[in-house]
Amino acid sequence: MSKITWDAGTLVYPLPPVMITSGTMDHPNVFTAAWTGIINSEPAMTYVSVRKERYSHDLIEKNSEFVINLITEKLVKAADFCGVKSGKDIDKFAETKLTPIACTVVKAPQIAESPISVECQVTEVKHLGSHDMFLAKIVAVNVDDSFIENGRLALEKTGLVAYCHGQYYGLGASLGKFGFSVEKKKSRKQRIHEIKHDRAVAKLNKKEIEEQKEMEPVKKGKFDKKDFGKKGDFSKKAKKSKKFDKPVFKAETKKMEKSAFKFDRKKSVQSASKFESKKSDSKFDGKKTFKKTIKFNHNSGVKKAGKR
């Protein structure tokens, strides 16, 4: 095998294409970025590199905030659109029918249809040349709770996409989990023990889910958004509709694995547990978001995966 050498270029792939939201709920903007990633674990830090001429550059610079919304296969067309049209000329939320909803910490909106929205506060700007790199602290992570299964974030079921050399791709099948290359084979005794443990947990969770279902409010009126396959209808029209009953969450227990939800019809107030939400009950009023806000280092999706 021989390799040819080219001049310097940005040939590092695949990358996560994301939709970056900025501005405010009244004047939101969204653009697509691939120059983004995680750069520190504690504190959790990220970056996005933005060309100075982007409309989003001005908004992020002005407010020192932005939100990273992960892209799924269902969102890829809207994401591509947001990566070729500018908020200077059009309202991209209106054009794509994406729904801006309030965040818990930052003023910039998050995208309701995205399964994971990461709230970021800018700590530093690096002027690198073509792009300004906004280094930022992750201050909250909003997760679509329909992807939380038995207390674990089933990220593999969200349909995330990758961006590689000008193309968008689905992720395909798992090739192994973190550390599988050095994993020792489990003894028969260990495997039986694990199966028994998993069954016991599943039994407990089933009971909990049944209890939760009994407490869930009856959702009236239109509650489907076909375009993005979401369960909820987040349109302003639906929110204003008297037919639309706001669901109310009240997480009771400390751990995600044991979180339970109570629906308080009278107050119609969405509140989250101390563990899961950083928002006060008054702000978290069910008008804004159907996502749960979790501490970013909860890391439920990568159990035992170790720090990176």
φ, ψ of residue 32 to 5 degrees: the values are -95, 135
Tell me the site size for ligand FMN, rule CB under 6 A: 21
Work out whether 87 is an interface residue with ligand FMN (CB under 6 A): yes
> What residues numbered 259-298 form the site for ligand FMN, per CB under 6 A?
none
Nearest residue to 70 (alpha-carbon basis) of 166, 163, 161: 161
**Nearest approach, Cβ of 87 to ligand FMN (angstroms)?**
3
Smaller CB distance to ligand FMN: residue 153 or 161?
161
Return the number of the residue (34 or 248) whose C-beta is nearest ligand FMN: 34
Per-residue H/E/C for the chain: CCCCCCCCCCCCCCECCEEEEEECCCCEEEEEECCEEEEECCCCEEEEEEECCCHHHHHHHHHCEEEEEECEHHHHHHHHHHCCCCCCCCCHHHHHCCCEECCCCCCCCEECCCCEEEEEEEEEEEECCCEEEEEEEEEEEEEEHHHEECCEECHHHCCEEEEECCEEEECCCCCCCCCHHHCCCCCHHHHHHHHHHHHHHHHHHHHHHHHHHHHCCCCCCCCCECCCCECCCCCHHHHHCCCCCCCCCECCCCCHHHCCCCCCCCCCCCECCCCCCCCCCCCCCCCCCCEEEECHHHCHHHCCCCCC
Q: Which of 35, 169, 223, 275 is close enough to bind ligand FMN by CB under 6 A?
A: 35
User: Which range of residues in 27-35, 66-74, 205-213, 215-223 is near ligand FMN by CB under 6 A?
Assistant: 27-35
180: left (phi over 0), alpha (psi -120 to 50) or beta: alpha
Question: Of 21, 44, 47, 54, which one interacts with ligand FMN (CB under 6 A)?
Answer: 54
Asked if 49 touches ligand FMN (CB under 6 A), the answer is: yes
Is 83 among the residues that bind ligand FMN (CB under 6 A)?
yes
CB-nearer residue toward ligand FMN: 37 or 221: 37
Q: Least distance to ligand FMN from the beta carbon of 211, Å? A: 44
Minimum separation from the CB atom of position 83 to ligand FMN (A): 2
Q: Tell me which residue has its CB nearest to ligand FMN.
A: 83
Residue 173 lies near ligand FMN (rule: CB under 6 A): no
Nearer to ligand FMN, 50 or 108 (CB): 50
Whichever of 27 and 287 has its CB closer to ligand FMN, that residue is: 27
Exactly one of 21, 28, 34, 284 binds ligand FMN (CB under 6 A); which one? 34
Which residue in 74, 85, 246, 283 binds ligand FMN (CB under 6 A)? 85
Binding to ligand FMN (CB under 6 A) within 88-147 occurs at 88
Q: Are 18 and 69 in contact (CB under 8 A)?
A: yes
Distance CA 75, CA 77 (A): 6
Residues 249, 45: Cα–Cα separation, whole Å: 29
Q: Which is nearer to ligand FMN, 49 or 299 (CB)?
A: 49
Tell me: does residue 152 bind ligand FMN (CB under 6 A): no
**Only segment of 84-92, 188-196, 224-232, 275-283 that touches ligand FMN (CB under 6 A):** 84-92
Report residue 143 as tokens. Answer: 């997760």
Nearest approach in angstroms of CB 239 to ligand FMN is 25
Residues that bind ligand FMN (CB under 6 A): 17, 29, 31-35, 49-51, 54-56, 80, 83-88, 163
